[in-house]
Chains A and B, each alone.
Chain A
Amino acid sequence: MGPLVINEIISENTNLLLAFFIGIGFGFVLEQGGFSSSRKLAGVFYGYDTVVLKVFFTGAITASLGLLFMSLFGWIDLNLVYINETYLTSAILGGIIMGAGFIMGGYCPGTSFCGAAIGKIDAIIFIIGLFIGVFIFAEGYPLWEGVFKANFMGSPRISEFFNISEGLFALMLIIVAVMMFWGAEWAEKKFPREEY
């Protein structure tokens, strides 16, 4: 059955329309979860507000569990969904640069658009920065093309990498996340902050 567009159950144009509605859902949930506030987002790195960790990991677990169950029931063919390619060097390098940007700017791209949507001027400035950053990458591309394409590993699943079943990995991920949730609740009590 799923993915609908790849099995040609819906057309490409419907797909683009549905992308808009998926975006509305995504933006709505992010904003409701508090991701439109840079101070809430940055809180996770100081322990005073761990909403990022809770929402992000609950979301990732729900999605992977849901997809595995849907595959089990034959509702979606997981061989047909997109799995991002792994280029080891640039994934780590990009992650480090993004981490630095995260702690300085207090947003990530998706959340900054949410912040901008409710009038946060710092979010709008962050978005302008994003455009500049992408533009710098595009213009300087010949300089780092080699790094960008180094250590290509295909599109492996992490369960294949560790050679365990997808279900078992999902269970391990849940256990780790639950422990992090407990740690997060503990940290929020230990590093209380005044409301803002």
Chain B
Amino acid sequence: MSKIKKSNYMNPYLAGILLGLVVIAANFISGRSVGASGAIKSAIVAGVETVAPAHAETATFYKEFNEGHTGNPLNSWLVYQMLGVILGGFLSGVLSHRLTWKVEHNPRITSRTRLIFAMAGGILFGLGSQFGRGCTSGSALSGMAVLSLGGFISMMAIFGTAFALAYFFRKLWI
């Protein structure tokens, strides 16, 4: 049982090499690299501009965003890339027979607990990704690929904190 399940995922080193090739392709084609949180930011800006255009014109955050971007915020590299990520993940799930609706959690906690913490974690990650100017993909992975100082700082801060707090949240996972 366990062996069949395990071999279901790709060898992590092979997956890592392929991940590296994706990052190289992004740099070679577009001179930039993958990211996720930037697409969410574009979506938020687009949403606020649609729902409350007056607010979007006065609040500093949206003004600064629009200084650096022209056109529809959703017409951006990262947004198209994230649409691709969803399709790519879906295709991989189809190929490996992993498509199921489920709340994945440790059997020792309830689905409800898992979802509450998922929400809390999402909020924190969303907030932190804006401070860090990118998430694990946009700042840490992409930054490390081009040997950026900021990328390494982000990576160490994210993983360092998660390790440091792991003990307090152990009930969620083990």
- In the complex, what residue of chain B is closest to A46 when comparing beta carbons? B174
Q: Is the interface of A mostly helix, strand, loop or mixed?
A: helix
Chain A hits for B61, CB < 8 A: 137-139, 141
Q: Pick from B22, B43, B98, B132: contact of A26, CB below 8 A.
A: B22
- Which residues from B are CB-within-8-Å of A187? none
Cβ of B121 < 8 Å from any Cβ of A? yes
B69 CB-CB contact with A under 8 Å: no
Are A156's CB and B149's CB within 8 A? yes
From known contacts A38-B104, A134-B127, infer whether A45 and B29 are also in contact, taking CB-CB under 8 Å. Answer: no
Q: Is the interface of B mostly helix, strand, loop or mixed?
A: helix
Given contacts A128-B119, A153-B149, contact A134 B29 (CB under 8 A): no
Bitwise interface map of A from 101 to 127 toward B, beta carbon under 8 Å scored 1, else 0: 111111111111111111111110111
Question: Known: A31-B92, A32-B92. Contact between A97 and B19, CB under 8 A?
Answer: no
> A26 contacts which chain B residues (CB < 8 A)?
19, 22, 34, 81, 84-85, 88, 137
**Which of A5, A103, A114, A121 contacts B169 (CB under 8 A)?**
A103
| Contact present for A94 and B170 (CB under 8 Å) | no
Query: Given A29-B15, A84-B133, A132–B122 Cβ distance below 8 Å?
Result: yes
For B128, give its contact among A94, A119, A127 (CB under 8 Å).
A94
Number of interface residues of B (CB under 8 A): 125
Distance to closest chain A CB from B52 (angstroms): 11
Nearest A residue (CB) for B137: A110
Of A33, A48, A95, A170, which contacts B147 at CB under 8 A? A170
CB distance from B41 to the nearest CB of A (A): 6
Classify chain A: how many residues form its interface, as a range.
Answer: 35 or more
* A59–B24 CA distance with the chains assembled, in angstroms: 10
Residues in A with CB closer than 8 Å to B102 are 119-121
Q: Is B93 an interface residue (CB 8 A)?
A: yes
Complexed CA–CA distance, A172 and B147 (Å): 12
Across the interface, do B1 and A130 meet the contact criterion of CB distance under 8 Å?
A: no
Also in contact, A90 and B20, with CB within 8 A (given A95-B161, A113-B85, A121-B115): no
Sample (6) of A-B pairs whose CB atoms are under 8 Å apart: A25-B18, A31-B89, A38-B118, A95-B155, A109-B136, A122-B118
User: What are the nearest 6 A-B pairs in CB distance?
Assistant: A105-B121, A129-B122, A133-B126, A23-B84, A95-B157, A58-B16
